[in-house]
Amino acid sequence: MATIFTSSPIPPPSSSASVNRISVLSSTKLHACPLSLSKKGASFSSNSCSLSLTRKQPRKSFQVRSVAAPVEETAGFDEMLSGTQRKYYLLGGKGGVGKTSCAASLAVKFANNGHPTLVVSTDPAHSLSDSFAQDLTGGTLVPVEGPLAPLYALEIDPDQAKAEFRNASKKNGGTGVKDFMDGMGLGLIAEQLGELKLGELLDTPPPGLDEAIAISKVIQFLELEEYNKFTRIVFDTAPTGHTLRLLSLPDFLDASIGKILKLRQKISSATSAIKSVFGQEGNQPDAADKLEKLRERMIKVRDLFRDTESTEFVIVTIPTVMAINESSRLRSSLKKENVPVKRLVVNQVLPPSASDCKFCAMKRKDQTRALDLIETDPELSTLTVVKAPLVDIEIRGIPALQFLGDMLWK
């Protein structure tokens, strides 16, 4: 039996009958089951389970009501949980389908099961802070309060990264562009460009910088010691278009850098021959080495995204025809990039009801039509489908995320 949240105040308990509800404070454990309220309200108990509240300072209460919403599918969480080697989970899909809530609940579930976990938002429009009800801004690792094992969150700050890009591109009063072209043996051309002020165009952060920053963070996860403690890293990705650019960027940079290196080699051979004629042979700062190292890192990131043992992309969608169709196209694109996909989360599914209003009946019929599409879609029908019920309040804060995680990640 699944459960939904409501923000309505909790009425006093009736003496004649008990009700199915939980007043959730800032506890570390949350379970959905029929409960009876004691007179003091300090603890809850039933024949099947109990809930103890361990925090001293309660947060705003909200009510949980049981509804008839069978959730037969299992996400195979035991498989996701097994092993101590690091695993990466990327959750993505159409905008507005609940990717952040699903990613945050998965991160909390991992942490509560003993895995030191990091959840990263690569979406320029961050929602992790709202989901955890905690300020996670600043572009640095922030500890999340509540889970049993260490859980950290990171919201990549595009504006901060753009400022760093501008600062890094200017050295010794000149431009990083000129330094780069000097290393290519094209210093004279760079000076001429400088007179025309064209070099300033290249100091402007390029399109796609958000994806490039996310890639640089993945490189840090692979190389820096401070990230070694995390055995699970969960990505809350941007909507479909941004995510596909992120996943294709390593291949693009690998090919682009390869072309630049070949061009540089040809130009270097020609300029060296000219300089030797005039006796001006000398060693220029070699940018090719840096490009080659960057290329090697891109290959590592590309291989990581395609590693079936350590990486999985989880598609999140909602039961509408438009969302299902976009999810099908996303799966097709991920298959072309050789990114492993096993699970499809269908969020906001209306639970069945004995007494439907006209709107609910029509909405449920529309959702059923969309869900039927999954069974016949060649891209989605082979995935493990996990359904999450529609709830009547935002999933916000650790207790709510724990509850969603217990329903979803089984």
**Enzyme catalytic residues:** 123
Length of the chain: 410
How far is 14 from 322, CA to CA, in rounded Å? 45
Residue 294 corresponds to which tokens in the numbers above?
Answer: 């960057």
Cβ burial, residue 16 (10 Å; 0-12/13-18/19+): exposed
| Count of other CB atoms within 10 angstroms of residue 212 | 18
Q: What is the number of alpha carbons within 13 Å of residue 327 lying toward its C-beta?
A: 34
For tokens 């969302």, the residue is: 323
At 353 the three-state DSSP class reads coil
Residue spans of beta strands (DSSP E) within 229-299: 232-236
| CA angle at 111 for the pair 105 and 115, rounded to the nearest 5° | 130
Is residue 306 within 8 Å of 337, Cβ to Cβ?
yes
In whole angstroms, give the CA distance from residue 17 to residue 219. 58
Q: Please, which residues bridge with residue 4 across strands?
A: 65
Please give the Cα distance from 192 to 336 (Å, whole number): 43
Q: Using alpha carbons only, give the angle 377, 304, 311 rounded to the nearest 5 degrees.
A: 50
Please choose, from the candidates 68, 67, 3, 9, the residue with its C-alpha nearest in 3D space to the C-alpha of residue 30. 3
Q: Supply the angle between the helices 176-183 and 287-305 in degrees, to the nearest 10.
A: 100
Q: How far apart are CA 164 and CA 205, in angstroms?
A: 10
Q: How far apart are CA 73 and CA 31, in angstroms?
A: 19
Q: Specify the 3-state DSSP secondary structure of 66.
A: strand
Assigned token pair, 229: 């403690």
Residue type, 44: F
Q: CA dihedral in degrees (27, 77, 152, 88; nearest 10)?
A: -170
